[in-house]
Amino acid sequence: MINRQNDQDRILLVDGMALLFRAFYATSYSGYIRKTSNGLPTNAVYGFIQYFFDAIKTYTPTHIICCWDMGSSTFRNESYSEYKKNRSEAPLELLPQFDLVKEVVAEMGVLNIGMTGYEADDCIGTLSNKLQKDSEVLILTGDHDMLQLITEQVKVVIMNKGRSNYTVYDLETLFATKQLTPLQVIDLKAFMGDTADNYPGVKGIGEKTALKLISEYQSIEGCLDNLDNLPKSVRSKIEANMEMLHLSRDLARIRLDVPIECELDHCIWNLRRDAAAKKFDELEFGGLVKLFDVS
């Protein structure tokens, strides 16, 4: 539990895609997919709601925004055509739930934000950068890439396996557990690449070597300034993949300048109980209304 200081606003930025995918796979691994009596798949939305209210109960935000990807094509695909090309298509049962979950979120009174050409990560990065000036910001996600967004006012809440199982990263926790600063998270991925996002970094350099380089030289620039001091094998790998090193860093860097605006007054957490209950009833989620009492 994080205690709110001096009645300061606490903004919860929800990585909607992370919650939705997590909920889908957590509730479908047995082969059973929850559906309405009309046959509409709802298991991911159902699980999303449970995760959502659990986070509210745990962190008591005053404001909430939910951020979403808006299609598969972004500026990163334009920079590197193979970006995320290894991803399989979303399961058929999940497809109708992408729009449905946003409907449910809106009915609960929560602002949905996404921007074509950018990822949800970039929207979260931009909003956290803007809103931290006067508020505490918590980013709810399962994505460790978000650790680069940590500041004195921004913490990243990583969802671990199971419900109510979180790890909260601030500047001190990040350094204590990973020996990294937020900016070094980006440089680490630039060296080692990202198999999930399908960019290689420097071929032949894995996490162990990348961490050693960053620990010793602090940054990519520090390493490049000391190329002659590196072991010959490491130096040759970097020199042979210099362009991809810089491209990988650009792909890894979450943007803080997405052209989106959000005033605090527009994202106050005030559950629209009647509208949410009506939507839950429509989706045959009647049993979830009990979660309203924790909000």
Closest alpha carbon to 194 in 69, 72, 85: 85
The CA distance from 254 to 61, in Å, is: 24
pLDDT at position 71 is 79
- Quick check: 82 and 28 in contact, CB under 8 A? no
* Residues in contact with 282: Cβ distance below 8 Å, sequence separation at least 6, in sequence order: none
Q: How confident is the prediction for the chain on average, in pLDDT?
A: 93
- Tens of pLDDT, residue by residue over 217-227, are 999 999 999 99
What's the first-to-final CA gap in the chain, in angstroms?
15
Please report which confidence band the pLDDT of residue 2 belongs to, taking 50, 70 and 90 as the band edges: low
Express as a percent the part of the chain with pLDDT over 90. Answer: 80
The CA distance from 94 to 41, in Å, is: 7
- Quick check: 108 and 271 in contact, CB under 8 A? yes
- Quick check: 173 and 152 in contact, CB under 8 A? no
- Tens of pLDDT, residue by residue over 110-142, are 999 999 999 999 999 999 999 999 899 999 999
pTM confidence score:
0.94
Mean pLDDT score, 253-262: 94
- Quick check: 288 and 119 in contact, CB under 8 A? no
- Tens of pLDDT, residue by residue over 79-95, are 888 888 888 888 899 99
Parse the chain into domains and list their residue ranges: 10-174+259-289, 182-252
CA distances from 192 to 83, 112, 209, 216 (A): 15, 33, 8, 16
Please report which confidence band the pLDDT of residue 4 belongs to, taking 50, 70 and 90 as the band edges: low
- Quick check: 95 and 139 in contact, CB under 8 A? no
Q: Does the domain at residues 182-252 carry the CATH identifier 1.10.150.20? A: yes
SS3 211: helix
pLDDT at position 3 is 56
Give CATH for domain 10-174+259-289.
3.40.50.1010
